[in-house]
Each structure stands twice: as C-alpha cells, then as structure tokens.
Structure 1
C-alpha cells in the first residue's frame, strides 16, 4: 500500500518530559505524539523530528514528518482536533501539512531560531519557564560579545563531543539580548545548531556579563574549538525553539 508523507507542526512545554526523542524508561514528546498519531490513524506511525530538544527545553514551533497509508487527505489534514484530544495539555498539535515524498523535517530546514529567557527576581509563574539569575549583568558587554558570533562559522567550542555531525560549522544570522520587565531574552538564529550549542553560548555570554571574561577571551574561546574552554551550559528551563523555516512551507 502506498504511503503519503506529511509534516505535523506542534508546540510543547518541555518541563515534564525528557526531551523530544523517544528513549527507554523515560517519557518524551515524540513517544506521546507517535502514540496519538497511531491511535487516530489506526496504524503504526513513527515521526522524525526537526531536531532533538533536551530534557526540560520548550518548543513554540517544532515540526516532524511522518508517513501514513493512503488515506483520504482531508481526513489526515482534519485530524488535528482528534490528535489534541489524546495529547496531554503540555503538547499541542497546530496543523498537518502535505509535503513531497522526500521531504525531511530535519535536513530540509534552512533556518532555526531560539530564545532564552532570564529573570532576576523570584517569580512562581516563571518556574521551569525561565532561568532565575540573581547576578547583575552588563548587557552591553554581552551584546558586544554576541555580535562577534556572526563573524565566525566553526562553533566546536560550544558543541557536545561525539555528536555524529559531519561539521561544526554554522552560520549565525542574529544574536542579541533585549531587556524585558524584570529580565532578559536572548534571541539567536542560524542555518543550523549543534547539540547543546545555545545553552553553552549563553553560559559563556553570562560570564561576559559578570565581567569574569572579556571580549578577547571570548574570541579565543571560539578559536580554540575546545568545549572545555567555554562556559557551563545554562539550565534548560529558559530555552525555547521558536522558529523553523522550510523553503516549501508557508510560515504562520
């Protein structure tokens, strides 16, 4: 029986889950989504996501592709309500999109963007959704350092080791801090990201903001291509995947 490929766009609060990817002895977003899709379409469905968010990381814009036996396309596209009825409240299906048979949620993405949130005073409504940091930060220095990221392409120093990637080169197109009421948000966009890259960059930029290291040190860290020279990874709770771009999908 012929199969048809679709993308599903979802959003999720990652606080309760051990990341996106299915793994033994842990509840993940992919596991729950696959179960819901399999139930609705009455066949075994296995998704492939646009990336792998770590435990506790959130996504406002996440895509996965899946193949389904040749059902009526309208039935598939109108299945969002049924899928949402089976998913926990922390995971929301937004839309299903028909794509060509070779479409790939991970490899076809041409741009991605993340945001990282920091707040400076205890706030119960930001628990697990933003990083509480009580240190004072030099935002201007952090933005000066962030701008340097746009002049480099090899970010080995911010990547987990042994990640099975062919290259650690990325093209960062935006990296900037903006002040919010009682906090900060860091926005970073690139053609691709390495595993743990954004959290490692944030950990290093926070050291800049604390005046523990300076711009010359920041350049030296990048040029060293050594993860042990960069800052510690910041907590997952403040990180959100906010945008994925495909050449054949119209953004919301």
Structure 2
C-alpha cells in the first residue's frame, strides 16, 4: 500500500455480453468501471477476458434478468463500485433462439426488472438505455393493451390478456415484448425525471450479431434480408453503430431526451410504412 486511497470511478452497467453488449462496453467503458452481466457464465468470461486484455476495468456478474433478485444483486454491486452513470440493457432473446415463454420472461419481465431496480440506485445524471427492437414498432395493440403494458405492476404483467393471448407464438411474443419495452420506458420517465435521471430505448433493425445470424438462417431470414435490399439500406447494421446511438443517449448531448425510442434500422420501418406494397 502506498497510502493513497483508490479512486472510485464512475460506473457503467451493461447487461448482455454478446456482440452488441461488448461493443457498447468498449464505447462507454474508457476511464470507467464496467459491470458486465450475462446469464451465460461462459460467454461472460470470454468477454471479460477480451475487455481486460484491452485495458478496461471490468467486473462480471452472472445475472438472469428474468430473476428480480439477480437484478437487485447486480444493481447493488454496481452502486458499491461508484456512481452509476449509465446502464445499458442489451440482454434479450429472439424467436430463432428461444420459445415464447422464455422471450416473455427475458424481454418483457427482464426489462421491467432492470427499469424498476436501477431506479433505486439512479442519481442525478444517470442514463438508462434499454435495447428494444424495430419489431416493437410492428406490434398491433389496442390503446387499452398498451396502457396496461405500460403501467401494470411488474409482477402482474404475465397475467395480462395481451400477454396470455400470445400462447406459443414466439414471433408474436417478440413483437409484443419489444413494444412493452417502449411503453415501460415511457411510463418510467416521470419517476426518473424526478431523480434528475433519464430512461430511453434504442430499437435496432437487423444488426450483425450472433442473434441476427440465427434469425437470418431461420425460415424468415430470406424475407428479412430482402427487405433490407428493398428499403435501400442494402446492408445490416453493425454493433458499433448501435453503440454510437447508445453513447449519444447516455452522453451530454441528449440531456433533454427521455421517455422515448431511437429507431436505428437503416430506414426499414419507414419503408414498410410508406412504400411496401400491401400483400
């Protein structure tokens, strides 16, 4: 010991240690302590090793976001390291990788847990960004169902009619749960504003990650890739591009932005709304 007290750095929390989470950790983690969370210990260890080798101060916490107590442990760990300045929730499942029940547990309940729990450790300047999906913009829900998804206490969400009606349809589960992410953030903005903190969603289109590859290799993949050509983008997005959007929403240039969604999809949703020929 040299007698000097170890400096407590600002803290960035990233859930999901896949390609998008790792890219976001790299973009935001310079000079900060990164708390990286994932349900897979193997994937978490691999990403921790890579980030540590690159010089990042990073700590891993195995976390199943569908388990509220695990999210509470994650938040307590982060707050114990220093001031939580940014929380980026990327953990999620897709129809090509999981059944409907798991998608509901992780995408809907997990996101609701992250919003609820991290509100308890947020301080002035904290910014939470939940990674949703452009699929959330395609959910066809009534105003009543949207209000219920936005405002129902988290532990009662699984019993809503709009949720139980999903059944075993994984694609429907994905669209509804991603829309619920938008709605939960909108409803949470008031409480976060009162803390001097902010909460938003980012909705990526097709991004080059392992999850997107699984989708591209699925039955709907050809259709998905054709839409990218038809909308004029002509390519998938990159994890780095999503990381830049997240950096904006967690940085000083977006201090008046909260309770909203940033669509980052190469114009695909706009093409669907205005140019796609009706079947």
TM-score by length of 2: 0.25
User: Which one has more relative contact order, counting CA pairs under 8 Å at least 6 apart?
Assistant: 1
Greater share of strand = 1
Task: Work out which of the two has the higher radius of gyration on C-alpha atoms and give 1 or 2.
Answer: 1
Greater share of helix = 2
